[in-house]
Amino acid sequence: MGWAYHPPPFITGDVMDFDPQRICIIKPSALGDVAQTLPLLPVLKRRFPQASIAWVINRELLDLVAGHPNVDDVIPFARRDGWREFWRLLRTLRSRQFDLVFDLQGLLRTGLMTRATGAHWRVGMQTAREGAHLACHITIPDTSRAVPAHERNWRVAEWLGLGDMPRQAFVATTDAERAWVQAQLADLPRSVIGIHPGAKWETKRWPAEKFAEVALRAVRACGGSVVVVGGKGDVALGEQIAQSITTAGFSVVNLAGRTSLKQLAELLRSIDVLVSNDSGPLHLAAELGTPVVGVYTCTSPVISGPAGVGHELVATHVACAAGYHKICPHSGDRHLACFEDLATDRVAAALLRSLNRIAARARSA
């Protein structure tokens, strides 16, 4: 065990008989992190076509991987279940007799999961903390926190010799889920602008009125309509934005709190562009091929930006920018100064650039 990089036999070719039959990805959360890991599934299937692939994932995110053609087994995990259920999970992992395990979360609990598998090859990243690296035989090089998150995940593909494969993410949806999404969008004029105003951190939640102003500037300039997305905690924000757009006489649908995870994925795949805080839906949309306009108040668009091209990422200029503070460290006039610093003019201009590119592609198609 330890930090040293020792290429396994299936990389170096020194031992040609290593052929893992059972592979496990341990990446329980969060939405954006899981979304950025999805492109590794076709890579693993290409490299090990005969192997079965399992994924350990939080229950609330299970639908992201359920039904994926390259996932043979989904192993649910929930922190709130307590230690008794956690030990049961560890026994389950041990019983599956995995040959190759990737701990792509790198925390104490995932390190325990990784160690419990007893797999012959256990692989982790340099970002591992809380002692999680002790459960791994191998640490993939160049996966420190200085490396953008989506690139860190893709280091697995490069390490397997398949870094030149196209980056492809897929979320399986049913005919009913696709029909539901199309019904929501059926009467909306294109282009459809998605707005996601929510985020878990207070420092990421750019004000709803600013999102509404950005959306209104875009539809006044280019036409189109707006769809608001988010979780149950974003319903009020969605209503606020929808009211502003309706009052101005434009088409809007508030779907915040109304979508399942698979419906959300299908919706993000079907709209034209998403304007969002640095959040899970932003990364899911980007991985599914939808351009995004990212609003970065307290995180870095370089380190935490989405994969792919054609995105517009707008960041604050305050002194504590990219400080990754979940709660604003300032009080008084400086409290959440990043919200005021990140002007609607800049985000609206970014959205208009994105819409103009979409229109240009449509004309040339």
What is the band of 363 on the pLDDT scale with cuts at 50, 70, 90?
confident
Contacts of 252 (CB under 8 A, 6+ apart): 225, 226, 227, 228, 241, 242, 245, 246
Note whether 158 and 238 are within 8 A (CB): no
CA atoms within 13 A on the CB side of 201: 18
φ, ψ dihedrals at 305, nearest 5°: -75, 165
φ, ψ dihedrals at 280, nearest 5°: -55, -50
φ, ψ dihedrals at 271, nearest 5°: -80, 175
Other C-beta atoms lying within 10 Å of the C-beta of residue 332: 6
Does the CA dihedral 217-220-222-227 come out positive or negative?
A: positive
By the 10 Å C-beta count (0-12 exposed, 13-18 middle, 19+ buried), 49 is classed as exposed
Per-residue pLDDT, 364: 86
Instruction: List, for residues 117-148, the tens digit of each pLDDT value.
Output: 999 899 999 999 999 999 998 999 999 999 99
Average pLDDT on 287-302 reads: 97
What is the band of 154 on the pLDDT scale with cuts at 50, 70, 90?
very high
Instruction: List, for residues 232-270, the tens digit of each pLDDT value.
Output: 999 999 999 999 999 999 999 999 999 999 999 999 999
Please give the full DSSP string across 13-69, using - where no structure is assigned: -SSTT---SEEEEE----HHHHHHHTTHHHHHHHHSTT-EEEEEEEGGGGGGTTT-T
Average pLDDT on 171-184 reads: 98
Instruction: List, for residues 88-103, the tens digit of each pLDDT value.
Output: 999 999 999 999 999 9
Which CATH code for domain 176-364?
Answer: 3.40.50.2000
Task: Return mean pLDDT, the chain.
Answer: 93
What is the band of 4 on the pLDDT scale with cuts at 50, 70, 90?
very low
φ, ψ dihedrals at 53, nearest 5°: -120, 125
Average pLDDT on 184-198 reads: 97
Supply the pTM of this predicted model: 0.93
The answer to whether residue 86 scores a pLDDT higher than 80 is yes
Per-residue pLDDT, 1: 36
Amino acid found at 133: H
Domains of the chain by residue range? 9-159, 176-364
User: Measured over all CA atoms, what is the biggest interatomic distance in the chain, rounded to whole angstroms?
Assistant: 69
Per-residue pLDDT, 8: 53
Per-residue pLDDT, 19: 84
Domains 9-159 and 176-364 in one fold: yes
Instruction: List, for residues 298-355, the tens digit of each pLDDT value.
Output: 999 999 999 999 999 999 999 999 999 999 999 998 999 999 999 999 999 999 999 9
How many angstroms separate the CA atoms of 136 and 138, rounded? 5
Instruction: List, for residues 8-23, the tens digit of each pLDDT value.
Output: 544 444 333 468 999 9
The CA-CA-CA angle for residues 194, 195, 196, to 5°, reads 120
Amino acid found at 153: N
Per-residue pLDDT, 207: 97
The CATH superfamily holding the domain 9-159 is Glycogen Phosphorylase B; (3.40.50.2000)
Residues of the chain above pLDDT 90, percent: 90
